């Protein structure tokens, strides 16, 4: 099982204050990685780092808005100073809101594209520079099933997540020569704090992870796939999008699961 170890790897996980990002950070730390995590608010990401260290891991936390290229560069530089390098980048930071296309303002559209797509670009640009100069690494971009299929009432979100998939494929071809693998994970409906609030779901409503036929997933379902793709066990995977969606309802979109397609 040593091929699944991340001992000595230096990882960055964006948007790690809660939900998928938090669980990814905890999972990578448990596998042996030194984990650098960020969020737009220092007070939200500090407890996550403290929890990782209490469990015996190594963590570094810093406030960073991924929409700001200069802030991202400062964050990546600080991570390199703290850990000595960057071997793994997980682009998880993102956001969405639900509205029909005709009601989405120009500012609303730009806000989602800026966070989801441009934020991913900023992080790849900054961390990728270190990877190219230091024997490669792994980049994992978090997209969505709504970037793969129609997602009514989420045109802005769907467009940004679809772009991340194409960006992943193109960059994997360009950066293979540097020893950098670039892959993408597309989660379906996952119980994050935002989804839980929208659907009124709490832990008592969640089916156990052992249940195969599930319409909603745990954050661990995504984090375990991130762990696999980041490990040597996935060394022959590059430029791929791995879907983590369980048993979705017809239409395969999160908006359909939320009952928003009508």
Six token digits for residue 67: 């929409």
Quote the CA–CA distance of 124 and 90 in Å, as a whole number: 9
Partners of 186 in the beta sheet?
243
Q: Which position has the token pair 């780092």?
A: 49
Q: Are 59 and 48 in contact (CB under 8 A)?
A: yes
Q: Which position has the token pair 């009601």?
A: 103
Q: Are 182 and 240 in contact (CB under 8 A)?
A: no
Q: Which position has the token pair 């929409």?
A: 67
**Could you say which of 75, 130, 157, 178 is catalytic?**
157
178 tagged catalytic: no
Partners of 59 in the beta sheet?
35
Q: How many CA atoms lie within 13 A of 247 on its CB side?
A: 7
Q: Residue 32: left (phi > 0), alpha (psi -120 to 50), or beta?
A: left
Active site residues: 157
């Amino acid at each position: 099982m040593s091929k699944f170890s991340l001992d000595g790897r230096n990882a960055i996980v964006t948007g790690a204050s809660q939900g998928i990002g938090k669980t990814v950070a905890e999972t990578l730390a448990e596998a042996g990685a030194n984990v650098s995590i960020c969020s737009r608010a220092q007070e939200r990401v500090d407890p996550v780092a403290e929890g990782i260290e209490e469990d015996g891991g190594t963590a570094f936390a810093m406030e960073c808005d991924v929409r700001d290229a200069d802030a991202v560069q400062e964050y990546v530089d600080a991570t390199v100073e703290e850990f000595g390098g960057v071997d793994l980048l997980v682009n998880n930071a993102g956001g969405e809101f639900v509205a029909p296309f005709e009601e989405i303002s120009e500012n609303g559209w730009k806000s989602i594209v800026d966070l989801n797509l441009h934020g991913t670009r900023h992080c790849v640009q900054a961390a990728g520079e270190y990877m190219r100069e230091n024997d490669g690494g792994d980049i994992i971009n978090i997209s969505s099933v709504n970037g793969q299929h129609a997602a009514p009432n989420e045109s802005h979100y769907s467009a940004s997540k679809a772009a991340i998939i194409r960006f992943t494929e193109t960059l994997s071809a360009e950066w293979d020569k540097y020893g950098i693998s670039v892959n993408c994970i597309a989660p379906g409906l996952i119980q994050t704090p935002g989804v839980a609030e929208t659907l009124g779901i709490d832990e008592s409503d969640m089916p156990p992870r052992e249940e195969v036929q599930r319409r909603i997933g745990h954050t661990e379902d995504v984090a375990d796939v991130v762990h696999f793709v980041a490990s040597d066990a996935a060394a022959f995977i590059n430029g791929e999008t791995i879907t983590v969606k369980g048993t979705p309802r017809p239409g395969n979109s999160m908006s359909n699961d939320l009952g928003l397609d009508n």
